[in-house]
Structure 1
Amino acid sequence: MSSSKTTPTTPAPKRRNLAIGASVVAAALLLGWFSYSATKPEDPAVSGSDKVADVSRPGQAEQEQNDTYAGLAELARRDAKDPLAQGPADAPVVLIEYADFKCGFCGKFARDTEPALVEKYVEEGKLRIEWRNFPIFGDESEAAARGAWAAGQQGRFWEFHAAAYEDGAKEKGFGDARLKALAQEAGVKDVDRFVRDAASDAARKAVTRDQEEAYGLGATSTPSFLINGRPIAGAQPAETFTQAIDEALAAAEDAK
């Protein structure tokens, strides 16, 4: 059975722990569980909505899980000027996506699921989506991540994102000429600046920051997500995301 996530075939770079206390350890366990759940044989008795974490367990276990989610929710940057995010900075729910442009399942999510989430939640001010570059497939993954960041410096990140995830786009690779073509397709006005920005130390640092955040959480595959701190691994069915977002919205309303 095909997986709904992609794992790297090259060794992962050296990982550094993320300084958010015990939530990191819990997150690594949760993401590991989700990674297993995303690829284990399908149980016909289990519906797609059951693939998210069970938050109905009573008592201490439920409280510990909720505390973990609350800690991980603090990873949302909520920077109104972040060009790699869409939706209001004060939206009640934040979806953080850790993804690679060479990842086929990331492309599936971008094409098949994300547009509906944008229409249903982002455009209504209920959801913010924050992108994290998580290149795990070698040099071209890294180059594409830096290119995406560079496109963002000219306000064209999401257009670059759409072009890079078009059906069949990843098969064309992400060499220098291809990245320039994607930038032009995305409407980047100054392509020479795009090339300079993509090769800059600032691009390198920005991508490394995102990458180390993902590794610090225990993520080893793409795509991986946090929805108000709640982990989801793989390009799960749309219903998995809408259920998690609706539950996060309800929890945010109850917390008022």
Structure 2
Amino acid sequence: MPKKPGKPSASSKPSTSSTSSKKNIAIGAGVALAALLLGAASYSATRPDEPSSVTAKEEPAADVSADPQAGVYPELAKLARRDAKDPLAQGRADAPVVLIEYADFKCGYCGKFARDTEPDLVKKYVKDGTLRIEWRNFPIFGADSESAARGAWAAGKQGRFWQFHAAAYAEGSKEKGFGGDRLKELAKEAGVKDIGRFSDDAGSAAAKAAVKKDQEEAYGLGATSTPSFLVNGRPISGAQPDEVFDQAIEQAASAAASGDGGKK
């Protein structure tokens, strides 16, 4: 039986003022319990290399992988935003399958997924219109995580989110930190044209609000670790093998084609 997922520290919890926004997610008690798989099956490798003032409890490496045959929850599928103008998403807004990723730029396994798995998913499923990938900033490892999330959002304001994403997740990148000067370096590497605007956007109230919205959505699901995913309402935790995502996506696409919405 998996351990009960740990709670984030007081400094990383959403404030009490966010309670109403979390209720708006409208997931029932049963679905919320199932969604705790996002936290209970976490990998110890999600922790950063250095200590953080914000502590999200890590579990030992999970013996149980996310099963593509596990339950699909329509309430969770509704979290897909399908905004055609969302710069933190790629793929058709009307794609039959939406993969939502909750991730942190300080997370080693998030980087593994970004480098080893996601490019293949884009080639196989995004390019043919089957899959849409929607990013959610879920910073849980302190100030650097927050800075990177806001920087990524700011890069998106100039249409360079995915290029910033690739630069931030490159081998050895997170070890250099995500301070102000480092964010500018990454922005330049990502091809962001107006660095002054980028810095202003990254430090803006709008950036903070956007990151907080994503973070609260993840906490509202019971997620305590990164990366965590939803594939048409099916929870998957951790940087699982490629075949886990392939199977989940193909099953969701088949279910969408048959008109059952992914429900068994």
Contact 2:41 2:238 in 1 (8 A): no
Matched, 1:174 2:178: yes
* Displacement of 1:8: 6.7
Structure 2, gaps ≥5 residues long: 1-6, 44-59
SS of equivalent to 1:113: helix
SS of equivalent to 2:87: coil
* Displacement of 1:41: 6.7
Contact 1:95 1:128 in 2 (8 A): yes
Match of 1:191 among 190, 195, 217: 195
Alignment CA distance shift 1:187-1:99 (3 Å): same
Structure 1's consecutive aligned runs of 4 or more residues displaced over 6 angstroms after TM superposition are 7-10, 40-43
Structure 1, gaps ≥5 residues long: 1-6, 56-64
* Displacement of 1:192: 0.4
Q: Which residue of 2 aligns with 1:79?
A: 83
Q: TM-score, normalised by structure 1?
A: 0.84
1:205-241 residue CA offsets vs partner (Å, 9 max, x unmatched): 1101101111111111100000001110111111110
* Displacement of 1:72: 0.9
SS of equivalent to 1:174: coil
Matched, 1:93 2:97: yes
Matched, 1:113 2:117: yes
Alignment CA distance shift 1:42-1:222 (3 Å): closer
Matched, 1:230 2:234: yes
Q: Across the two proteins, how many residue pairs are aligned to each other? A: 233
Aligned partners of 1:71 and 1:188: how far apart in 2?
Answer: 36
Aligned partners of 2:61 and 2:148: how far apart in 1?
Answer: 33
SS of equivalent to 1:95: strand
Contact 1:27 1:218 in 2 (8 A): no
* Displacement of 1:37: 4.0
Q: TM-score, normalised by structure 2?
A: 0.82
Report the residue type matching 1:186 in the other structure: A
Matched-pair identity in %: 64
Aligned partners of 2:61 and 2:141: how far apart in 1?
Answer: 26
CA RMSD after TM alignment: 2.1
Q: Which residue of 2 aligns with 1:19?
A: 24
Match of 1:215 among 200, 215, 219: 219
